[in-house]
Amino acid sequence: MIINSKTKIVGILGYPVEHSLSPAIFNYVFEKLNLNWCYLPFPFPSTHKISYFLECFKELNFVGLNVTMPYKEVVVPFLDEVSAFARIAEAVNVIHLQDGALIGYNTDGRGFIDSLKEVGVRAEGKTVMVLGAGGAARAVVLSLAMEGAKRIVLANRTRERGEKLAAVLRSRFPKVEALVVDLSAEAKPYLAEADILVNATPVGMDGISKPLDEEVLTALPASSLVYDMIYSPLETPLLKWAKDTGRKSLNGLPMLLLQAQGSFQVWEGSEIELKLLREAAEAALKGI
């Protein structure tokens, strides 16, 4: 890949971003498609200076950004425009610099729902427990409601944050039962009725921790799906537990690829084939 004055620059904003496969995936795709694009990591540790970062990004006239933790919610007030879904979710994972304006989108929810459908699982009529209430969780929860989930149980370390998200659900989707529980043994009886368990927290990225104690996890029905939005490592302790106990499981890689597809569509208006994105992911994982 040759970088020149015509190269279109995109990247990922977050902290940390060392674990992200996105630079390797996108740059592989750009090379295969012979596109003069480059995808860079932007590890930015100062959340209180995010407006400064975005202003610099705008002045450099780059094309766009993916946004990951801890910035999905932080960037929203500093954007010029925000899509309808991202406004409801109060979280952005894609930014497009268009005609001098920073426009925020959220493809997390669509990527999550489509990844479920890829394995033959639909949210309609289901009871889902979601661990976490951050930016990614908000998009997932709203998309589950839009897809007709019957009950959504929010388990979060900070109950107040969970209640805030539940209030949004109740106001916009009154037919969906929204409950909030602590991320503890209190979750057990609700977990016993869950069709899908979603981990939308970063717990497990260390390869050691689980977001819930095993004693609580055992309440999850054997027929339920365990979905961990983490993709690095591919098999988190939660997913290993699911595999060892005979439960269906899904990691966050399919969602990442669907998000990548959605991101490029926002930036360029065209679609990258999922087959090529999967090929890119396999190449990236071999390089780890």
> Tokens for 169?
């659900």
Going by C-beta distance under 8 Å and a sequence separation of 6 or more, which residues neighbour residue 72?
Answer: 91, 92, 93, 108, 134, 135, 136
C-alpha span between 201 and 134 (Å, rounded) = 8
In a domain, 221, yes or no: yes
188 is catalytic: no
Q: What is the mean pLDDT of residues 256-266?
A: 95
In a domain, 2, yes or no: no
pLDDT of res. 216: 95
Structural domain count, the chain: 2
Asked if 216 and 274 sit in the same domain, the reply is no
Averaged confidence pLDDT in the chain: 94
Give the domain range for residue 159.
109-251
The residue from 72, 164, 240, 248 that is catalytic is 72
In a domain, 174, yes or no: yes
Asked if 37 and 123 sit in the same domain, the reply is no
Q: What is the mean pLDDT of residues 156-181?
A: 94
Asked if 122 and 235 sit in the same domain, the reply is yes
Asked if 168 and 227 sit in the same domain, the reply is yes
In tens, the pLDDT along 17-51 reads 998 999 999 999 999 999 999 999 999 999 999 99
In tens, the pLDDT along 90-135 reads 999 999 999 999 999 999 999 999 999 999 999 999 999 999 998 8
User: In 3D, which of 248, 192, 194 has the Cα closest to residue 219?
Assistant: 192
pLDDT at 226 over 70: yes
Asked if 230 and 126 sit in the same domain, the reply is yes
Asked if 121 and 232 sit in the same domain, the reply is yes
pLDDT at 288 over 80: no
In a domain, 1, yes or no: no
pTM, to two decimals:
0.91
